[in-house]
Structure 1
Amino acid sequence: MIIRRIARGVALLAVVPTVASACGDTGGGDDPAYSIGVVQFSSSEETSETALRAYLDHADDQGWEVTKVDPQGSVDKAISAMNDFVQKGVDVIVATVFPSESLTAGIRAASAAGIPVISFAGGPADGVVVDMDAGRPTATEIFEMLLEDLDGEGDLLFFGNNQGPPCMGREAELMELVAGTGIEVTRKEVPIPGHVEAATQFIHAWLAEHPAGSGPLAVVGCLDEAALGAVSALRQERRQDVLVYGINGTSAALHAVESGDIRAVSFIDVAAAGRTAAERTPEVIEQGTDAEPSVIPIPAVLVTSETYASFAEKYPGAVQ
């Protein structure tokens, strides 16, 4: 493993002679100045960006060299970025949200070069040595609350997204829980980027088909942004008979819980996940692609208007 890292380091110096002067010896930390390749999902997706900020803060403290690429939700661009990182000879690749199975070509190239891959919520796969799970476990409590609020009947508008495992896992959890109940689910796919606008457009049409007084009504987004789009539409139409639920716990969504516009949010502590992944990075690099793969669940906290004050006291950074 040490020989492989030295060889890659020599190649990197040959290709990019400014790296050594930029990184110094060990920066502010005790670890070598590792080279990290980060594949974002989309800079407009707030939750994954929050996780990355926490990761990058730690990397900066350690003096690691980090290069980011924003594929804007494109799998092809993500794979291309991974291949570029392989050619550059980074020590580890961090990928966010994209299903690991969709990045197979990039992960295989990394594995062949002896470069381990860390995934934020992309799901396990050969070559992914650490996966941070933000799927089904993050949705169970809030969906159980939704079913209780509706008393097992009514109409539910669900905003899903098939681009990433977190949303797909949350949708699977919802469909399993509502099976056998009297709840009728209408499912709409929302793109990323553009999920707020799409959700706002969809709900206007759905509200026209479900006038006030037509029965228990609810809207849930697999991401907070979709839920916030629903809130915007409900305000425009002056509807107060629809319960709204969100998942991820963005600052805007949490404040909407505080004001009563959103019934509840499942807050995902992705900043903690980002720090955990960063702290494990030296171990991942040293163990390489032969490391035993691990899946780390990201903790979730249910936040309602009743619990908002205590939540804000415990997680002040989340509501800023």
Structure 2
Amino acid sequence: MRKQHTSVIAAVAIGIVALAGCSSTAPSTGTSGTAAGGKLLGIVSITATDANNARVIKGATAAAEAAGWTVDVVDAQGSADQANAAIVNFANKKAGMIFDLVFPASSLGAGLAAAKSAGIPVATWGGGPGDGIVMTTGAGGPFAEPATAKLLSDMSDEGQVLALTYRTGQVCRDREDLFDEMLAKAPKVTVTKNEVTIPGFLQDGAKYATAWLAAHPAGSGNLAVWGCWEDPTLGAISAIKQQGRTDVKTYGINGSSTAIKAVQDGSLTATVYEDGVKEGATMFTTTMEAIKAGSSWQPKTVDVPGILVSADNISDFLASHPEALN
């Protein structure tokens, strides 16, 4: 069967800014922000209400406060313009460091320029390298591999998949790229893509799944829903349950407490648990190292491995990670 890719951009009241690919240039660091404005960590999140963004914020906040810093969080609600404005504002406040959660570095030109001019180091969670960025986490593509491999194995490399994507965020962009690479090796799998929005990802997931299920009734062969993070998939699950369907497998990434509980009750086939709290703390400690190193610092990509969670290992996983349900 020839693979077909269908991309549909949600028409909603709040628009999402389309972004280009990530650039890669040498960063600069400095300590003038800490010296001038005290120990302020400014965090700009693509959506502070998402479970894993919240975990990263929690980890970064705990590490910063333990070191005597204060933390200020801005929810940019999916808007690169709001993210740039927030970073510029933190630069004007002479913050000691700034964290970007998910926005691609290439979309933050104005903000990064302001931070660089003020000598303030920027760390990014999955946003990729860029001018003035001292470290980034590998929160993107690697986390998609276990869930996508599980999907292909469960489907025996044949069937139809609804992929729920989000191109504005670098993390989802990287995960979608790896998904495409892996699905290209399974020519008997047909993929339909729909792009969700922030805010509105749960509603979009349900809406797109409703339409896709209508076109793929029971008996259509192997069926699955894949989300570049699990919240859109959870939205799709609500539509699957509403229609009484039990023939559709579901996959996500991040391992929010809601997703882990959905694996427990069997409504989510698998997710990849990402330790966002540890990643947030690692961002703070690594950026502190960059501040101390000054001009000798070389930018880093720091990886915190993910864990595939499914019915096969949910009991053992929770025994090792009881915090995943919180």
TM-score of the two chains, using structure 1 as the length reference: 0.89
Percent identity of equivalent pairs: 37
**Match of 1:122?**
127
**Match of 2:285?**
279
In the alignment, does 2:145 pair up with 1:140? yes
Q: State the AA in 1 paired with 2:72.
A: T
Shift of 1:280: 2.3
Q: Distance in 2 between matches of 1:102 and 1:290?
A: 26
Shift of 1:156: 0.3
In the alignment, does 2:128 pair up with 1:107? no
Deviates more, 1:112-121 or 1:183-192: 112-121
Match of 1:254 among 260, 264, 269: 260
Q: Distance in 2 between matches of 1:66 and 1:262?
A: 35
Q: Distance in 1 between matches of 2:31 and 2:147?
A: 45
Q: Which portions of structure 1, spanning 4 or more consecutive aligned residues, are displaced by more than 3 angstroms?
A: 4-10
**Match of 2:18?**
none
Q: Distance in 2 between matches of 1:126 and 1:226?
A: 32
Q: Distance in 1 between matches of 2:259 and 2:205?
A: 14
Q: Is the 1:114–1:289 Cα contact (8 Å) retained in structure 2?
A: no
Distance 1:246 1:6, change over 3 A: closer
Shift of 1:289: 6.1
Q: State the AA in 2 paired with 1:171.
A: E
Q: Distance in 2 between matches of 1:119 and 1:206?
A: 35
**Match of 1:212?**
218
Q: Distance in 2 between matches of 1:141 and 1:281?
A: 29
**Match of 2:317?**
311
Shift of 1:219: 0.4
**1:184-234, CA deviations, whole angstroms, 9 ceiling, x for partnerless residues?**
000000001210011001111110100000111000111111111111111
Instruction: Map 1:143-222; keep pairs closer than 5 Å.
Output: 143-180=148-185, 181-222=187-228
Q: Is the 2:31–2:120 Cα contact (8 Å) retained in structure 1?
A: no
Instruction: Map 1:1-150; keep pairs closer than 5 Å.
Output: 5=31, 9-10=35-36, 12=37, 34-150=39-155
Q: Distance in 1 between matches of 2:236 and 2:283?
A: 33
Distance 1:153 1:289, change over 3 A: farther
Q: Distance in 2 between matches of 1:147 and 1:174?
A: 10
Q: Distance in 1 between matches of 2:265 and 2:222?
A: 21
Q: Is the 1:116–1:289 Cα contact (8 Å) retained in structure 2?
A: no
Q: Distance in 2 between matches of 1:114 and 1:281?
A: 13
Q: Secondary structure at the match of 1:89?
A: coil
Q: Distance in 2 between matches of 1:75 and 1:61?
A: 30
Q: Is the 2:32–2:119 Cα contact (8 Å) retained in structure 1?
A: no
Aligned residues: 296
Shift of 1:88: 1.2
Q: Distance in 1 between matches of 2:319 and 2:219?
A: 38
Distance 1:295 1:7, change over 3 A: closer
Structure with bigger gyration radius: 1
Structural RMSD (CA):
1.6
Q: Distance in 2 between matches of 1:160 and 1:51?
A: 21
Shift of 1:311: 0.5
* Structure 2: stretches of 5+ with no match in the other structure: 1-29
Q: Is the 2:124–2:136 Cα contact (8 Å) retained in structure 1?
A: yes
Q: Distance in 2 between matches of 1:241 and 1:289?
A: 57
TM-score of the two chains, using structure 2 as the length reference: 0.87
Distance 1:48 1:8, change over 3 A: closer
Q: State the AA in 2 paired with 1:243.
A: K
Shift of 1:292: 0.5
Shift of 1:171: 0.7
Shift of 1:8: 6.3
Q: Secondary structure at the match of 1:248?
A: coil
Shift of 1:43: 1.9
Q: Distance in 2 between matches of 1:201 and 1:310?
A: 34
Shift of 1:288: 4.0
In the alignment, does 2:275 pair up with 1:269? yes
**1:131-167, CA deviations, whole angstroms, 9 ceiling, x for partnerless residues?**
0111111111221111111111111000000111111
Match of 1:298 among 297, 300, 304: 304
